[in-house]
A and B are shown apart, each in its own frame.
Chain A
Amino acid sequence: MVLRLGIDVGGTNTDAVILRDREVLAGVKSSTTEDVMSGISNALEAVIEKAGVERDAIDVTMIGTTHFTNAVIERRALDPVAAIRLGLPATACLPPMVDWPEDLVEMVGGHRYLVRGGYEFDGREIAALDEDEITRIAKDIADKGIKAAAISSVFSPINQDMELRARDLLREVCPDLPVVLSSEIGRIGLLERESAAIMNASLLSLSDQTVEAFGNALKGAGLTCPFFVTQNDGTLMAADMVRRFPVLTFASGPTNSMRGAAFLTGVKEAIVIDIGGTTTDVGALQHGFPRQAATVVDVGGVRTNFRMPDVFSVGLGGGTMIAGTADNLQIGPKSVGYRLTTDALVFGGETLTTTDIAVRAGMAEIGDASKVADIDPALVEAARQGIADMLEMAVERSRISPDPIPVIAVGGGSILAPDHIGDLEVLRPENFAVANAVGAAIAQISGEVDRIFALDGTSREECLAAAEKEANDAAIAAGAKADTLTVIEREDVPLAYLPGNATRIHLKVVGEMGDVHA
């Protein structure tokens, strides 16, 4: 029997759940506080009390957080970074951070260094690494007091040797300098991978403090178990990994709610609609994991190639305002947002919202139903139809196969969802309101490979097997139990115009966390 505590720290709410094996013992929602940590403490106290468990019986804690994404978006607590690229004479046309918003470049100091080095697609060196130049840069870093370094080398996802060598050389001069390697973070696509490495380096102090503070909040609540943080792919990082790779937590929120939805229903192929107060996030589950976006994703104005869930948002939530008449109805885009509990009609307010429609239509019992008894049935019908149409359109966009898979409705606003969306059945799990904390609590450990393999001299199957072994090793090193590992993504894409049957293989495995009593 394992007791897990899951926490999701969102912009508005901090949710917490306690699971005993696969059973949800208790779930609570509480407000996110300005300092974040006291909000966590409040949620912790409430959920422990509600579940009635002993604090020292809790085996492990998992935290989902938007802290680091928000730091980038709000441009706060970012360190100056030395951005070092190995690639000259290639790549000289576009320096690091060339497509960043100016204010963000200023925040991280705009320290850019281009150095001879890097690899061609087939593994040849573009140039030998200019080691003297790295040493000169190290002295510059020391002189200027730059807090961290990010090293990116051309085609480092194929060969990271030069990035490693450059890091060692920097450390000879600056022994305590935190150094981030692009090959540890991103995939092919130099600018995006480099940007991710630089952002990660700029967040290292904040991640240090945050991990510390999370630890203190848990300790303050009398918890002594280890804790983990969820990544954007729905898997876990140990606290020490978060200290090193805070960017990997970006966009973990939608992932957690989708993983939670899969867990609460036991359905692994579905569309998940997470209906909040203002917006609805819609995404597809494949094998119980969110389908990933194929294109680049923008974080705080910077293009990155993180693996992010492919989520589509529509402006529809429990607080969405309704205006007009049955013949000429306007649903949203305005919302009363967090003022729902004072402004909506059922709560004695004066604004007609989607929640009022749901109560009037008998879809939910919230607030005072008598306050909405007078609403014209034609208007109610028109509004229900309008809501259903919006949800159907969003669900259709996210469908990844013509199979009639179910829709899982989670989030506080899921009372708005009809019983069917188009031809798909809607499932409403218990504990739907805290699905994202559940998603955090059940997160697994992953290992991933994404790079170019040359098929010449070997077969496709041999390359895939080699990639799987590499991914398994990575997962085990990150703490997964070897006998629980399964492949959840396996994709090989032949590359046009390249010789040697060059094929890009992307493979990912996940497994259960190892001994939680560590």
Chain B
Amino acid sequence: MRDLKDQCWVLTEEDIDALEIGSGILGTGGGGNPYIGKLRARQALREGYELKVLPLNAIADEAMVVPLGGIGAPLVSFERLKEGREGLRCLRSLEERLGFKADAVACEEIGGQNSMEPLITGAFAGLPVVDGDGMGRAFPEMQMTTYSIYGHRSTPSVMCDPHGNAVAFENAITEKWHETMARACVIAQGGASVLASAPMSGAYVKRYSIPHTYTQAIGLGRAVMDARKTHSDPIAAICEREGGQHIFSGKINDLKRHFKGGFNVGVASIEGLDSYRGSIGQITIQNEYLMFERDGQMVTCVPDLVVVLDLDTGLPITTEILRYGQRIAVLALPCHELLRTPQALDVVGPACFGFPDVIYKPLAEAA
């Protein structure tokens, strides 16, 4: 891993603006709002740091790649803003403890605000972020990355807060235990921290990350921005890029929400508009949009992506700003093959979200 610079994509402010939109779309309603992260990334850029994305095929097999991301409550991250170098401290602490030098960082979750943290940390450390992530979307828990699903042990890991506190997790007996312990600790650290996991080899990253998701998210965002500029249909542009399907248009006519086991759960009912007039859609929500049914028939469900967009602007709508009367488009985007194996479905399939009777049927890519 020497002299990567030529192979890297150095991001511009426009790329970051596009990433804000694209990672919002891939967030499928969750993952937090990337706005604060965008401001931080832009700030780093204006201070002279380089935000770099490294193509997967440019990583050496023996490279050491550290996955990292924010953990905690989105609300805290809007109030107690970060010190800024939490991620860098995690990375340095991990390197010191384990006696290695990182060659690159990796993104845990491209959907929502976690798309930005690895870019920012990478910029401060002078390292690129590999062009991929562990989810290809947003999921609520850490064990739900392809890194963990396919055998990477994410401990030892280090979690840092703005004060300078660092917690090392030495050995989690399962990935779910790591999630549980980290979740407990982040509360002590004030509710919003950054966590860097044990390094992965370049070979592993190439094989088991969801590939090209930075390129994908930035491209998606640019497609929406271009469509808005030229007054063409952003929804069609998204479907075309992603092999996705526009599965419903309608107006939300009922919204039930409650709080269960640490999650915001709910159901949105949608009355069809345009060519869907006469049909009723229903979205099941658990932090993210989990499933979409039309007239009682399951159309698509997790781990495929249920994306909700404002019908006119094509901008993503997160679950917490969903409300009665909104006119929305529902899109289904196929998830990557790596999320569709029996091994993955054991961790991110409908049963893991409390729907054991729902059988996942992979969404076909649109022609």
Contact = CB atoms under 8 A, between A and B. Distances in A.
Given A87-B81, A89-B83, A396-B251, A126 B163 contact: yes
Given A91-B83, A121-B76, A126-B190, A99 B39 contact: yes
Nearest to A189: B78
Interface in A200-244: none
B162 interface: yes
B82 to A, nearest CB: 5
Interface in A382-425: 396-402
Interface in A464-502: 494-499
A401 B191 contact: no
Given A120-B190, A397-B325, A399-B325, A495 B75 contact: yes
Contacts of A190: 78-81
Given A94-B40, A497-B72, A87 B80 contact: yes
Interface string A84-101: 000101111110001100
B84 A126 contact: no
Given A89-B162, A499-B187, A189 B79 contact: yes
B183 interface: yes
Nearest to A452: B75
Given A93-B82, A120-B80, A155-B80, A494 B321 contact: no
Q: Chain B: interface residue count, which band?
A: 35 or more
A406 B63 CA distance: 66
A397 B39 contact: no
B191 A396 contact: no
B43 interface: yes
A495 B80 CA distance: 15
A495 B164 CA distance: 26
Contact of B78 (A188, A295, A402): A188
Interface string A11-38: 0000000000000000000000000000
Given A90-B162, A495-B75, A121 B191 contact: yes
Interface stretch (B15-23, B95-103, B236-244, B258-266): B258-266
Q: What DSSP secondary structure best describes chain A's contact surface? A: loop
B327 A397 contact: yes
A53 interface: no
A126 B192 CA distance: 13
Interface string B155-181: 000000011100000000000000000
A154 interface: yes
Contacts of A92: 82-84, 162
Interface in A154-175: 154-155
Contacts of A294: 321, 323
B80 A496 contact: no
B313 interface: no
Nearest to A295: B321
Contact of A497 (B39, B83, B163, B183): B183
Given A93-B84, A94-B40, A400 B324 contact: yes
A498 B73 contact: yes
B105 to A, nearest CB: 17
A306 to B, nearest CB: 16
B293 to A, nearest CB: 20
B204 to A, nearest CB: 29
Interface string B322-361: 0111110000000000000000000000000000000000
Contact of B327 (A121, A189, A396): A396
Interface in A284-322: 284, 294-295
A191 interface: yes
B325 A398 contact: yes
A118 interface: yes
B253 interface: yes
A287 to B, nearest CB: 16
Contact of B73 (A126, A402, A495): A495
B191 A91 contact: no
B36 interface: yes
Contacts of B245: none
Interface string B289-328: 0000000000000000000000000000000010111110
Nearest to A310: B323
A91 B259 contact: no
A98 B321 contact: no
B200 to A, nearest CB: 26
Q: Which of A120, A126, A284 has the most CB of B within 10 A?
A: A120
A89 B81 contact: no
Interface string A492-514: 00111111000010000000000
Contacts of B84: 92-93
A284 B163 CA distance: 45
A190 B39 CA distance: 14
Interface in B50-79: 72-76, 78-79
A498 B79 CA distance: 14
B249 interface: no
A497 B80 contact: no
Given A188-B79, A191-B81, A93 B327 contact: no
**Interface hub of A91, A93, A190, A401 (most chain B Cβ within 10 A):** A93
B325 A400 contact: yes
A92 B44 CA distance: 12
A496 B287 contact: yes
Shortest 7 CB-CB contacts between residues of A and residues of B = A93-B84, A494-B259, A90-B162, A91-B81, A497-B73, A120-B190, A399-B325
22 contacts: A87-B80, A90-B162, A90-B163, A91-B80, A93-B84, A94-B36, A98-B43, A99-B39, A120-B191, A121-B79, A121-B80, A126-B163, A154-B80, A190-B79, A191-B36, A191-B81, A295-B321, A400-B323, A494-B259, A496-B259, A497-B73, A498-B73
Given A120-B191, A121-B75, 6 more contacts: A93-B83, A155-B79, A396-B251, A396-B325, A396-B327, A495-B75
